[in-house]
Homo-oligomer: A and B are copies of this chain.
């Protein structure tokens, strides 16, 4: 296992301070056109490392990320993503994959490391692991990895925005073709794509949100939340 990232950029690439999360959320729009400007290596590493810090059930981390930067590969990805031009344009497109089986093979390692780092007692590792594997196995595997992968992907999207980059999360692709083109195993669920780069203006307009009272409820579904 790896420790927390320690060396990561603490400013945007142009030296501006990191955007506060509130600002990153409010300024983020799904970018439709990207310039060809590359995402510097240290920023891309940081985006991936922070995404990898996302929480997961029992720390099973079922997410995997294929980082596509090579132009021919981006065009190939575009071809299996309804030919969306931003896929070929953005300097980086991350294919987010959830693995339905692999976590079972790493469960032992995850639990032993957890105990070594102070989570639970060493003598209980085996029974705790069995309980965890049983519980997670009781859930729909595709659903479970989709939920988890979205935690990590959302984290990456917000970190990229805080670093001043623009992003586009995408759900338009032919999953079977993406798997075939990028060597993704059978057990992998292609969950989403995330393009990262610099926007080619104009930015998308903000199209509003449903009033909070229609999506948030107090105590019981249907009881409109009052701000």
Contact = CB atoms under 8 A, between A and B. Distances in A.
Interface in A32-59: 45-46, 48-50, 52-55, 57, 59
Interface string A1-13: 1111100101000
Interface in A194-224: 204-212, 215-222
Contacts of A172: 135
Contacts of A133: none
A21 B110 CA distance: 26
Contacts of A114: 205, 207-208
Interface in A75-119: 97, 106, 110, 113-114, 117-119
A30 interface: yes
Interface of A: 1-5, 8, 10, 18, 20-22, 24-26, 28, 30, 45-46, 48-50, 52-55, 57, 59, 61, 63-70, 73, 97, 106, 110, 113-114, 117-119, 135, 139, 142-144, 146-147, 150-151, 154-155, 158-159, 162, 169, 171-172, 182-185, 188, 191-192, 204-212, 215-222, 225, 227
25 contacts: A1-B209, A2-B208, A10-B22, A20-B162, A21-B158, A21-B159, A25-B53, A48-B225, A49-B227, A59-B209, A61-B210, A65-B217, A69-B218, A97-B221, A117-B207, A118-B205, A119-B207, A142-B143, A143-B143, A146-B146, A151-B154, A154-B154, A154-B155, A182-B221, A188-B221
